[in-house]
Amino acid sequence: MPLTKRISAEFIGTLWLVLGGCGTAVLAGSQAGNTGISLAFGLTVLTMAFAIGHISGCHLNPAVTLGLWAGKRFPAKDIIPYIFAQVLGGIAGAGILYVIASGKAGFSVAGGFASNGYGDHSPGHYDQLQCFTAEVAMTFFFLIVILGATHGRAPKGFAPIAIGFGLTLIHLISIPVTNTSVNPARSTGVAVFAQGWAIPQLWMFWVAPILGALLAGIVYTWLADEGHPDIVGEPDDHDDDDDDE
């Protein structure tokens, strides 16, 4: 599959993740509750995994891309294009959400616009160390689920379900701590529109998820102790020589 089509799929998928997940948080808020928001994030990944998994692998997340690379499932040459597309998709999804949300009387981004935060901006007022630890741990286990569910010896056809419900569980655990990132593109998209405190705190939601993902890639490579087939649904041919055809 040409690289241009794969990164376009990543853009669309990440847009959907931010619009669906953060959209539920911003537009439904207390009506949905943490359970509803958690399900929304999980469903965005589940639906997109079925929709674009066979095109791009459905990473939707720079940490996932780097974790798959660390797990020997993804070529280094495609990392930057994938991350670029994911971040742009996250910003586009947040932009659409902003247009919709701003139509309501009294709308303000002062509440954070579903941004991730620590300290005073953690939903439960958790300190920086606790928030950093949560993001590393949650992303680590997210990548373990992804790497395991998409392994060549895993049950076929169930990976999107395992990954989607895995992300749901992660949100149920960590929304009270950081509002749950585990995804630098998701965090960046809404922070661009929230601005204020969200931008200075954004560093954590790049560093911690990427660290957790890299650790998971290394650990799973050791656990599996065998050859690593491509992620289920990911094109076998990463050669982009025919991108312009």
Fold held by 3-102+113-224: Glycerol uptake facilitator protein (1.20.1080)
At residue 236, the pLDDT reads: 45
Collect the ranges in the chain with pLDDT lower than 70. Answer: 226-245
Write down the pLDDT at residue 226.
54
For residues 144 and 169, is the Cβ–Cβ distance under 8 A? no
Strand segments, DSSP code E, in the chain are none
Give the Cα separation of 128 and 118 in Å (integer). Answer: 6
For the chain, the structural domain boundaries read: 3-102+113-224
Closest CA to 7 of 89, 87, 81: 81
pTM for this predicted structure: 0.91
Shortest CA distance to 139 belongs to which of 82, 189, 209? 209
Q: What is the pLDDT of residues 163-215, one digit of tens each?
A: 999 999 999 999 999 999 999 999 999 999 998 999 999 999 999 999 999 99
Please count the CA atoms within 13 angstroms of the CA of 158 that sit on its side-chain side. 12
Q: What is the pLDDT of residue 227?
A: 54
| Closest to 66 measured CA to CA, from 53, 52, 86, 83 | 83
CA distance 159 to 170: 16
Asked if 58 contacts 13 with a C-beta cutoff of 8 angstroms, the reply is yes
Tokens read off for 28:
């439904």
pLDDT in tens, 157-177: 999 999 999 999 999 999 999
